[in-house]
Amino acid sequence: MRGLVGIAVAAVATFVTGTLARPLIVNPGTADDIVITEHNTINSTSKIQAQGANPLEVDVVNNFGSNQMYLYITGTDSNGVACLLGPDGNFFYPNAGGSAIPVPIQGDYKISLGGVGSTTKVTLPDFLISSRIWVAEGELQFFTLINGDGKTVIVEPSVSNPSDPSASIKWGFVEFNWNNGEIYANITYVDWVGISMGMALTLGAGQTQVVKGLKGGAVQHICNDLNSQNSRDSAGWDKLCMTNGNGEALRVLSPNLRIAGDPTWQAEYYNGYIDKVWSKPTPAT
């Protein structure tokens, strides 16, 4: 089966800073500031995962803005090797040169998107799983290393690390597995939101499934709502909003991702409630 994934990218409006709001301001660092977790790595395995060619066409519609946008596709191929899609339509294999610490991936693995209103078409040559389609306003930085088993690891931009080298770029991704003609894909709005993305899947028979995703400007609205909630209870909701130095909203984290980066955040949030619950079953005297 030949599938087609269409992705639409909507505008993110400028963030309006509230008087009490103290967002998490990003400060992009270098390779030394990278935090490696299971959420921002793709590890090669030694397992052969599939055989045979199965192309997948991906159409990306740019509804975002006038700055140059780039597309990146990451995943593991049918031999279990971590790779990206190159602009020539072939898989691109990073070379860490034996480094055990993250080094920038050398070579051409970014795909330029056309301007506002245009559709950019790329075709995945074959099977790719643990995959992400990244769309960014500007260039993202991917790194690579060789792990203890001698396998290539791709280190991706991190959504939750404010010092990640790509932290000041607006980006979003869609996750998918393209496995011998079967596709699983989602817009992953469980852990965070960045650039608003919607998705349509067209099957060979012409049936289409659509996931609309968030509206353009949603990141700003979510930040505004978090700020007003914070002005009511001062519980730190404003810290879920990540902005650049100009106060522009870049992305919003879910509480679980925020806690992963700062275990003290809302650590006492439920204390009052727990005390109330404990006060109920007072033993009879």
Contact set with ligand NAG (CB under 6 A): 36-38, 41, 43, 147, 153, 175-177, 184, 186, 188, 190
Q: Which is nearer to ligand NAG, 21 or 73 (CB)?
A: 73
Q: Which is nearer to ligand NAG, 75 or 162 (CB)?
A: 75
Q: What angle do CA 10, 15, 21 make, to 5 degrees?
A: 140
Least spacing, CB of residue 74 vs ligand NAG, in Å? 12
Q: Which is nearer to ligand NAG, 183 or 222 (CB)?
A: 183
Least spacing, CB of residue 148 vs ligand NAG, in Å? 7
Least spacing, CB of residue 230 vs ligand NAG, in Å? 26
Least spacing, CB of residue 240 vs ligand NAG, in Å? 18
Q: Which is nearer to ligand NAG, 185 or 242 (CB)?
A: 185
Least spacing, CB of residue 160 vs ligand NAG, in Å? 14
Residue, CB closest to ligand NAG: 38
Q: Which is nearer to ligand NAG, 68 or 99 (CB)?
A: 99
Q: Which is nearer to ligand NAG, 21 or 153 (CB)?
A: 153
Sheet with strand 24-25: strands edge to edge: 24-25, 241-243, 249-253, 192-193
Least spacing, CB of residue 153 vs ligand NAG, in Å? 5
